[in-house]
Amino acid sequence: MVQTHITYEGDLRCRAVHAPSGTTLVTDAPTDNHGKGESFSPTDLVGASLGSCLLTILGMVAERRGWDVRGASVTVEKVMQTEPVRKIARLAVEVRVPGALEERDRIVLERAAAACPVAATFEGTLEIDTRWVWDT
């Protein structure tokens, strides 16, 4: 079990500390919701979590198979809705992978990444549109 300690600092800003490492991150409410937009919003972190999870799983599989995917990247576009409640409506994800991988290897990576724990958590509750770009 991993703990994160979060403190409200005022002005719609929070500081989160990852207990095992002491690493800190700051969130700020977005400008369209009364914040300053000077850091990740809590909902931005959902997109960041998904993208980093996809890349981590992709890296794990690639390392086990001896494939070099250094430089792989993910861009996540978060689309919010305001009615009936403010929430994330959709995440558009673009995964870019460098290197000349065979089609069967690409399928292995796509399936593994689709099963990352963050994506699995949102399955059936959040629309996630993923597009793969294979840079050869």
The helix (run of H) or strand (run of E) holding residue 88 is: strand 87-98
Query: Are 79 and 131 found together in one domain?
Result: yes
Query: Are 121 and 61 found together in one domain?
Result: yes
Question: What is the rounded distance in angstroms from the CA atom of residue 122 to the CA atom of residue 113?
Answer: 14
- Alpha helix stretches (DSSP H) within 1-97: 42-65
Range of the domain at 21: 4-33
Instruction: Read off the tokens for 48.
Output: 């960041």
* Intra-chain end-to-end CA distance of the chain, in Å: 40
Query: Are 67 and 99 found together in one domain?
Result: yes
Overall pTM surpassing 0.75 (yes/no): yes
Query: Are 10 and 53 found together in one domain?
Result: no
Query: Are 63 and 20 found together in one domain?
Result: no
Mean of per-residue pLDDT scores for the chain: 94
Query: Are 28 and 54 found together in one domain?
Result: no
Query: Are 67 and 115 found together in one domain?
Result: yes
Query: Are 116 and 51 found together in one domain?
Result: yes
Query: Are 86 and 26 found together in one domain?
Result: no
Structural domains of the chain, count:
2
Q: List, for residues 7-18, the tens digit of each pLDDT value.
A: 999 999 999 999
CATH at 112: 3.30.300.20
Q: List, for residues 75-127, the tens digit of each pLDDT value.
A: 999 999 989 999 999 999 999 999 889 999 999 999 999 889 999 999 889 99
pLDDT value of position 102: 92
Query: Are 62 and 122 found together in one domain?
Result: yes
Query: Are 120 and 80 found together in one domain?
Result: yes
Query: Are 79 and 127 found together in one domain?
Result: yes
Position 136 pLDDT exceeds 80: no
